[in-house]
């Protein structure tokens, strides 16, 4: 099973679990339902966004030079946690540093999702 299919299967499983909970709690309030569904949407949103970012790869190669004029040096891949509109997601990205000034850089870089 590929990553896309696994995410769809997990979202389907969690939706079925949510609907089971609703069936088991016939006297729950509208507010209870709203809270459960919002929580489900948040979890599904994080899963979908993490999978979507992972499908884009680990970041492009650093182009150009650091603002200090030094050249970027590849340091490997690092995992990061990023706050998004869907919540905190984990992603793995290429990481570069400038030996001249010590600045770090995760492509795509500031203003482009970093």
User: Could you tell me the pLDDT band of residue 114, with boundaries at 50, 70 and 90?
Assistant: very low
Residue count (the chain): 114
* pLDDT higher than 50, residue 113: no
Look at residues 71, 65, 59, 57 and name the one whose alpha carbon lies nearest to residue 99.
71
Bigger pLDDT: 55 or 35? Answer: 35
Per-residue HEC secondary structure of 16-73 comes to HHHHHHHHHCCCCCHHHHHHHHHHHHHHHHHHHHHHHHHHCCCCCCCCCECCCCCECE
Q: What is the pTM of this model?
A: 0.60
Mean per-residue pLDDT of the chain: 84
The pLDDT of residue 108: 63
Task: Please report which helix (H) or strand (E) contains residue 4, including its range.
Answer: helix 3-24
User: Is the peptide bond prior to 108 cis by the omega test (within 30 degrees of 0)?
Assistant: yes
SS3 call for 114: coil
Q: CA 25 from chain center: how many Å?
A: 32
């Amino acid at each position: 099973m590929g990553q896309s299919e696994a995410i769809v299967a997990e979202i389907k499983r969690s939706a079925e679990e949510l609907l089971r909970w609703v069936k088991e709690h016939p006297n729950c309030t509208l507010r209870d339902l709203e809270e459960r569904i919002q929580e489900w949407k948040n979890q599904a949103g994080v899963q979908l966004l993490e999978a979507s970012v992972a499908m884009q790869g680990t970041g492009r190669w650093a182009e150009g030079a650091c603002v200090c004029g030094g050249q970027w040096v590849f340091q490997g891949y690092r995992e990061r946690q990023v706050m998004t509109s869907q919540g905190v997601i984990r992603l793995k990205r290429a990481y570069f540093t400038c030996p001249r000034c010590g600045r770090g850089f995760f492509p795509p870089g500031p203003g482009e999702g970093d």
